[in-house]
Amino acid sequence: MNERYTRHIQLEEIGLSGQQKLNKAKVLVIGAGGLGCPILQYLNVSGIGTLGIVDFDTVSISNLHRQILFNQNDVGKNKAVVAKEKLLQLNPETHIDIFTFPLTEDNCLEIINEYDIVVDGTDNFVTRYLINDACVMLNKPVVFGALYKFEGQVSVFNYQNGPNYRCLFPIPPSAGEIPNCNEIGVLGILPGIIGLLQANEVIKIILDLGEVLSGKILYINTLNYQHRLVKFKKNEETFNEIRRKEKPEIVSTNDCLFVNSISLKNIRMDDNIVWIDVRELHETPEICNDKILKIPLQAFDNKLQISDNSSKKIFYCQSGIRSQKATQIAINKGFKHCYSLKEGAEELREWLTGKK
């Protein structure tokens, strides 16, 4: 190992053997945009031996406020091609493969199979589900990141027999349900923060350091620095469903849902609340409380029978995503005082039992 990695090697938790592990690792980064740029830069200079970059898109002026590998002269050029050029200037020792075409159900297994770890730097649900399902089939860990305006999410899926993306988000949002991120905007600094956290998870996985974000999703709000770590459990049926198929299938969807939301910290125990559990009946943890109605989201349109009085109607699920969809349906049906719980079922159980 050369002088480039001296500060890594000086760390007793890494040392020469750890740096050699990084050098032998093969990491595929899907998306060379806002998230992909910081992920690629830090993995590259950290000594990852082989990087793969998947991106068919070209650089545009509107990318430059957050996609920090690119500059004015790169506009119109393919992102993967430009990223490779810039990264080799930073560290010519890294081997870099580029894929300048879209990831599809027909090529994803072949591409992903060549790498140890996959990093999801995409911005749409279609590709997220495709990546997840391919990695479940190939037993590859996925380091996930997502952005919304001033907020970001980070998690690790399919790691050491842990949950996959569908354990947390089993139902893709329907087309037209979710505002496109290109329309709502994003703080330019946010992809850098989330991308660096994703790169950190990759290095932890390779070196077996610390506590990997498996079975947990980290939510960060950059306006007030509130952090939430939501736990979720493995749903074995999602794995079985994926593995029954010969290859991943494209989901029909659009992009993201945000409605009236409320946090446990803003709720009093004596508030007049009807809790509505929109998870499937088999999901855990089970919460026993006489104020809880169980109405799985799958049957929501037909079985939404709640009294529309002055009580708050708070919908919850495993992580706060399905509950957003349920809240929107209830509001569309004319119900008042409807909220989606920001936290998940595990945190609600602890709050109701006073164990948190």
> What is the C-alpha to C-alpha distance for residues 124 and 241, in angstroms, rounded to an integer?
22
Pick from 171-175, 301-305, 316-320: least confident = 301-305
> What is the C-alpha to C-alpha distance for residues 47 and 33, in angstroms, rounded to an integer?
21
| CA-wise closest residue to 345 among 267, 277, 260, 259 | 277
Kind of pairing between the strands at 95-99 and 117-120 = unpaired
| CA-wise closest residue to 169 among 297, 282, 80, 47 | 297
Pick from 188-202, 223-237, 260-274: least confident = 260-274
Give the 3-state secondary structure of residue 307.
coil
| CA-wise closest residue to 142 among 113, 164, 168, 167 | 164
Contact 262, 340 (CB under 8 A): yes
The answer to whether the predicted template modeling score (pTM) of the entire model surpasses 0.75 is no
pLDDT-based confidence at residue 256 (cuts at 50, 70, 90): very low
Average pLDDT, the chain: 88
> What is the C-alpha to C-alpha distance for residues 163 and 183, in angstroms, rounded to an integer?
31
On the question of pLDDT at 77 being above 70, the answer is yes
> What is the C-alpha to C-alpha distance for residues 120 and 36, in angstroms, rounded to an integer?
8
pLDDT of residue 257: 45
Pick from 78-87, 118-127, 313-322: least confident = 313-322
pLDDT of residue 216: 95
Q: Give the model confidence (pLDDT) of 210-253 as tens digits.
A: 999 999 999 999 999 889 999 999 999 999 989 998 889 877 65
| CA-wise closest residue to 101 among 58, 153, 71, 67 | 58
Q: Give the model confidence (pLDDT) of 268-280 as tens digits.
A: 887 888 899 998 8
pLDDT-based confidence at residue 307 (cuts at 50, 70, 90): low
Q: Give the model confidence (pLDDT) of 46-67 as tens digits.
A: 999 999 999 988 898 888 999 9
